[in-house]
Amino acid sequence: RKHRIEDALSATRAAVEEGIVVGGGVALIRASEALNDLEVEGEEKFGVDILKRALEAPVRQIAENAGKDGSVVLEAIKNHQGNFGYNALDDRYEDLVKAGIIDPTKVVRSALQNAASAASLFLTTEVIITDKPEPKDEHGHGMPGGMGMPGMM
């Protein structure tokens, strides 16, 4: 409970500093529309396409976490304008600002800057070390093989 209050206080401070944008990933979708006007080719076009896809990821993830198809929700948002988005809590499309679904601009901007910085680091680094995932125990836990039924031998 204490952490939730601290998070709310931090978000409020950030909103006071730089304002708010529509939440639910919609601000990122609207920002990605500016990329459509860029005249790029080759590797630059590839980079712009990657950035567009990354900006769509929050909407897709929110939808999938709510049990919806992320692509369907994304297209519905793209086919509308402004603050129209998917309210996952109430399972409906609506004006998200009117519904109170907002993000502090500072938080969204910082997330984008940090993601771009990390991506840049990956692109310029020749070696990356990650944690190796633990192997999952995927065999069944039924009777061990070769035991047979009693009295059958």
Query: The domain at 22-109 falls in which architecture?
Result: Orthogonal Bundle (1.10)
- Domain residues of the chain, as ranges? 22-109
List, for residues 36-63, the tens digit of each pLDDT value: 989 999 989 988 999 999 999 999 999 9
pLDDT for res 78? 96
List, for residues 115-137, the tens digit of each pLDDT value: 988 888 888 887 777 888 888 76
CB atoms within 10 A of CB 95: 15
